Structure 1
Amino acid sequence: MMARYNRWMNEKLYAIAAGLDEQALRCDRGAYFGSILGTLNHVMTGDVLWLKRFAGHEALAQPLALLQEVRAPSRLNDELFDDLPSLWQYRRRLDAALIEMAEIVGGLPPDTVLSYCSMKGMPVRRSLQALAIHLFNHQTHHRGQATTLLKQAGIDPGETDLLMLIPEL
């Protein structure tokens, strides 16, 4: 469900952002990552950083193979793509891979471990399922910032709650 929510929100935010001119996209609005484009890039940077780690798990290597196309970020404010169309094109592909990855992670035993190195090069071992939750929580947090930046630009992004994807019974 979180992977589908991620895709839904990204499609919504990127479609709105595509209607902005370059100045509005790049305007520093005082947010942690500056602009709307900077914030969307940070979500991508975080995703790429974590998913490259996830791709090290044998069950996830194939669905996350497209990560070989982008460099590993060295900082959390790295811009992996310097324009919205390129960012959105890769975002769509990554979101499809995230849906496939989430299905696999959901089927793994809850005690599945992911071993990786931190950005400081330190070895780490943590629950793969908990790290997947962290990934989706990180996306939600920064997309919330992006919606605030859009509001500052005079655009109401509309409904953004996960509740919109939870079917009524």
Structure 2
Amino acid sequence: MSLKNHFELLAAYNQWMNSKVYEAAGQLSATDLAKDRGAFFGSILGTLNHILVGDILWLKRFATHPSCLHSLREVADLQNPTSLDQILFDDLGRLSDQRIWLDRQIINWIAELSEGDLDFVLSYHDIKGIPARKRYSSLVLHFFNHQTHHRGQVSTLLLQAGEDVGVTDLLAQIPEETHL
């Protein structure tokens, strides 16, 4: 399986998991979603917003790759988040709508990448303005890992609030091989 194929799997997994997390979150009241549960980003809503903030920041950086100017154009036009704990949407419905839209953008972006695109060295600045130059493929891997890390936190917070997300393993999305 190529690196691009792995990223396609991770993009599909991201979409699948987000739909499960948001479905479970939708069972809670606005008060329960916003309740400070002692997590790094406070609440379930705060953590879901952080994942969206992180995705937008990274996708805007990825959009500067010469091969991604078209596939990430709409994401590049989004307003820049101002902090990692910014609440972009304080209601789950609007947050969910943006999440669904962004997950579709991610799938389309990954589908348009070539293996060669992944070898690119991306120059960017982090949220504090510190410059960096890193291999695109490694940054894409970080992007998906960041989502998984924080979704794990959210699924724990949801379980503590009485909502079970169910199976969260990537294994559930890995297709069976029919040939040896």
TM-score normalized by structure 1? 0.94
Structure 1 unmatched ranges of 5 or more? none
Is 2:71 the counterpart of 1:63? yes
Partner Cα separation in structure 1 for residue 101 and residue 22 of structure 2: 14
CA drift at 1:19: 1.8
Superimposed CA distance per residue, residues 116-163 of structure 1 (whole angstroms, 9 cap, x where no aligned partner)? 112222322111111000000000000000000001101111101000
CA drift at 1:103: 2.5
CA drift at 1:70: 3.0
Aligned 1:92-131 pairs, distance under 5 A: 92-131=100-139
Q: What amino acid does structure 2 have at the position aligned with 1:166?
A: I
Q: How many residues align?
A: 169
Is 2:43 the counterpart of 1:46? no
Q: What amino acid does structure 2 have at the position aligned with 1:41?
A: N
Identity percentage of aligned residues:
50
Partner Cα separation in structure 2 for residue 98 and residue 144 of structure 1: 20
CA drift at 1:74: 2.2
Contact 1:106 1:129 (C-alpha < 8 Å) held by counterparts: no
Aligned 1:70-109 pairs, distance under 5 A: 70-109=78-117
**Structure 1 consecutive aligned stretches of length 4 or more whose deviation exceeds 3 Å:** none
Structure 2 partner of 1:157: 165
Partner Cα separation in structure 2 for residue 70 and residue 37 of structure 1: 20
Structure 1 partner of 2:16: 8
Aligned Cα root-mean-square deviation (Å): 1.4
Q: What amino acid does structure 2 have at the position aligned with 1:80?
A: L
Structure 2 partner of 1:168: 176
Q: What amino acid does structure 2 have at the position aligned with 1:44?
A: L
